[in-house]
Chains A and B, each alone.
Chain A
Amino acid sequence: MTLLDAADLAFGYPGREIGRDLSVHLAAGEALALLGPNGGGKTTLLKTLLGLLPALAGTIRVEGRPLADLTARERARAMAYVPQAGASAFAFTARAVVLMGRTSRTGLLSAPSRADHAAAEAALARMGIAHLAERPVTRLSGGERQLVLVARALAQDPRIVVLDEPTASLDFGNQGRVMAEILRLRADGLGLIFTTHDPNQAARYADRALLLRGGSALAAGPVAAVLDAPTLGRLYGAPVEEVRDTGTGARAFLPQGNSR
Chain B
Amino acid sequence: MSGIAHAAASAGARAIRLGGPWLALLALVLAAALAFGVGRYPVSLLDVARVLLGRLTGHAPDVAPAVEAVVLQIRGPRIAAAILIGAALSVAGTAFQGLFRNPLVSPDILGASSGAALGAVLGIWLSLGVLAIEGLAFAGGLLAVACVYGLGAALSGRDPVLVLVLAGVVIGSLLGAGVGLIKYLADPYNQLPAMTFWLLGSLSGTHPSDLVPLAGPVVLGTGLLLLLRWRLDVLSLPDEEARSLGLATGPLRITVVAAATLVTAASVAAAGIVGWVGLVVPHLARFLVGPGFGRLIPTAALLGAGTLLTIDTLARTVAPVEVPLGILTAVVGTPVFLWLLARAERDWS
Which residue numbers of A lie inside 8 Å of B, CB to CB? 47, 50, 52, 71-77, 79-81, 83, 86, 89-93, 96, 99-101, 103-104, 106, 108-112, 134, 136, 138-139, 152, 156
Partner of A83, one of B14, B101, B233, B241: B241
In the bound complex, do residue B348 and residue A91 qualify as a contact, i.e. CB atoms below 8 Å apart? yes
Q: Contacts A50-B244, A81-B244, A89-B103; is A138 near B231 (CB within 8 Å)?
A: no
Interface size class of B (residues with CB under 8 A): 20 to 34
* Interface bits B309-349 vs A (CB < 8 Å: 1, else 0): 00000000000000000000000000000000000001111
Of the stretches B18-26, B34-42, B287-295, the one at the interface is B287-295
In the bound complex, do residue A91 and residue B347 qualify as a contact, i.e. CB atoms below 8 Å apart? yes
Is B29's CB within 8 Å of the partner chain A? no
CA A81 – CA B243 in complex, angstroms? Answer: 10
* Interface bits B231-243 vs A (CB < 8 Å: 1, else 0): 1011011101101
**In the complex, chain B residues whose CB is within 8 Å of the CB of A80:** 244
In the bound complex, do residue A138 and residue B347 qualify as a contact, i.e. CB atoms below 8 Å apart? yes
CA A204 – CA B141 in complex, angstroms? Answer: 59
Partner of A89, one of B101, B227, B231, B240: B101
Q: Contacts A72-B243, A72-B246, A89-B101; is A138 near B238 (CB within 8 Å)?
A: no
**A149 (CB) vs chain B CBs: closest residue:** B241
**In the complex, chain B residues whose CB is within 8 Å of the CB of A52:** 240, 243-244
CA A47 – CA B294 in complex, angstroms? Answer: 29
Q: Contacts A90-B98, A112-B230; is A100 near B349 (CB within 8 Å)?
A: no
Is B212's CB within 8 Å of the partner chain A? no
* Interface bits B279-300 vs A (CB < 8 Å: 1, else 0): 0000000100011101000000
In addition to A93-B290, A136-B349, 15 A-B residue pairs with Cβ atoms within 8 Å of each other are: A76-B244, A76-B245, A83-B241, A90-B236, A92-B233, A92-B292, A93-B292, A103-B231, A103-B234, A108-B228, A108-B231, A109-B227, A110-B230, A112-B294, A134-B10
SS of A interface (majority): mixed
In the bound complex, do residue B246 and residue A92 qualify as a contact, i.e. CB atoms below 8 Å apart? no
**A86 (CB) vs chain B CBs: closest residue:** B238
* Interface bits B203-247 vs A (CB < 8 Å: 1, else 0): 000000000000000000000000110110110111011011111
In the bound complex, do residue B248 and residue A72 qualify as a contact, i.e. CB atoms below 8 Å apart? yes
**In the complex, chain A residues whose CB is within 8 Å of the CB of B294:** 111-112
In the bound complex, do residue B234 and residue A100 qualify as a contact, i.e. CB atoms below 8 Å apart? yes
**In the complex, chain A residues whose CB is within 8 Å of the CB of B244:** 50, 52, 75-76, 79-81, 83
CA A108 – CA B235 in complex, angstroms? Answer: 12
CA A51 – CA B102 in complex, angstroms? Answer: 27
In the bound complex, do residue B228 and residue A104 qualify as a contact, i.e. CB atoms below 8 Å apart? no
Minimum CB–CB distance for B238 against chain A, Å: 7
